[in-house]
Amino acid sequence: MRVGHLITLGAVLAATAAATAGAATVQHVPLAIQTASLTQSGQDLVWTVRLDHSFSPTAMQRERRSLCLLIERAGNGTVSGQVCIAPPARRQRTPLLRYMHITAAGPGPAHVIPATIARSSTRELTAIFLPTSFGLAYRPLRWQVISTLAPPGCTPSRPDRVGCYILFPARPALARLHTPRLLGCTASGASFVTEGPTNRREIALTFDDGPWPDTGQFLDVLEHYRVPATFFEIGDQIATYGEGGAIERRMLADGDMIGDHTWSHPDVAGDGSFARQQIEMTAAAIRGATGGFTPCLFRAPYGAVSSALIGEARSMGFTTIQWDIDPRDWALPGSDAIYQNVVGNAHPGAIIIQHDGGGNRSETLAALPREIATLISRGYQFVTITDLLGQQLIYR
């Protein structure tokens, strides 16, 4: 083990001892680790650990134990942080994950990170979390699991150690993380949607008729406020205004979603081969512009739908998306009127339609920052349509 690793490992043990100070103690050894793994699944890291015996995060804290994932730099092996299993919050049953940044100067404060935690048995735990939730980049790293027991529960074998510990694997393992590439999404749930679930304060911005010369300015606003949107694109305009696919790739990189709005914006409610061709050609254009993303969201031009069209779109892998807030920005009513319509009708689960293309969209662009700021102040979270509907994203 490298000197730098030993220094930061000492910081880990000191932090563990401080975090469990005052707890009841038992004379024992650290919990033995049977197996452990760290893998990448799309955007997520999946950490699975299995011990020789049953364990409870609450009991571990009481006994001054810890079970943590050490995040180590691939280049020099020094520990940059640790993700630890923690007891559930009050009146909850699911354990938590706490992250602590570690430097040569010592550990920083621990904070809870969002995670999905499952237990297939009392000896095993799987935690799924985003590395970006604590600033970790998608690049190769090394890792180990450390099981500790702080004094006086055990006597360290060396005087320079704060407690006892077990590392698994014995030497740091390499995890080759890569930047996830979004390849598509899966249509699920209802075939035709006008709004999302109303039990969460989530709201979806959608923009039609792009790409357009103004689309980049819409992205500037969304990036400034760090909110996502869903863009329903006209296939025939992608080659002209998509800047060689740069606009579409920027959307996906920002966390936005792209939907299919037909090739040339005709009324396709009559269904049939014409509608299918319009949808297929646009999906192919989006796939080409993005380098492989296949959309699963479809919006009919003019909102003109039929049961036949909805069924046809679903057979092609699309959910047909309508809306329930329409400020009629295409009619150029003025930025104040657009703003008042959007914020006045906002509600949990709302789908807002506006336009980034198809004409002069300066009024929509002027209203957008105020819409976002007001709705955020009211406690709304902006999400894409796929997130609003809980649809699965496909990554490679």
Tell me the pLDDT tens digit for each residue of 3-42.
Answer: 345 445 555 555 555 555 444 444 478 999 999 999 999 9
Instruction: Name the band, by pLDDT with cuts 50, 70 and 90, for residue 81.
Output: very high
Catalytic residue numbers, as ranges: 208, 355
Same domain for 166 and 256, yes or no, is no
Last residue within a domain, chosen from 145, 160, 175: 175
DSSP tag of 158: S
Same domain for 224 and 141, yes or no, is no
C-beta separation of 262 from 301 below 8 A: yes
Contacts 24+ apart (CB under 8 A), 372-375: 372/205, 372/221, 372/225, 372/227, 373/225, 374/339, 374/343, 375/203, 375/342, 375/343, 375/346
Looking at the chain, the whole-number percentage of residues with pLDDT higher than 90 is 86
Same domain for 297 and 313, yes or no, is yes
pTM: 0.79
Instruction: Name the band, by pLDDT with cuts 50, 70 and 90, for residue 105.
Output: confident
Same domain for 47 and 82, yes or no, is yes
pLDDT of 270-295, one tens digit each?
989 999 999 999 999 999 999 999 99
- Overall domain count for the chain: 2
* pLDDT at residue number 133: 92
Same domain for 59 and 197, yes or no, is no
Q: What is the mean pLDDT of residues 124-145?
A: 96
Last residue within a domain, chosen from 175, 194, 224: 175
Cα–Cα dist 353/328, whole Å: 8
Collect all residues with Cβ–Cβ distance below 8 Å to 391 and sequence separation of at least 6: 185, 186, 187, 188, 189, 296, 319, 385
C-beta separation of 351 from 195 below 8 A: yes
Cα–Cα dist 200/319, whole Å: 21
Q: What is the mean pLDDT of residues 198-223?
A: 98
The residue range of the domain holding 20 is: 3-175
C-beta separation of 331 from 202 below 8 A: no
Same domain for 373 and 231, yes or no, is yes
Q: Which of 20-34, 144-158, 184-198 holds the top average pLDDT?
A: 184-198
pLDDT of 328-374, one tens digit each?
999 999 999 999 999 999 999 999 999 999 999 999 999 999 999 99
Cα–Cα dist 341/242, whole Å: 29
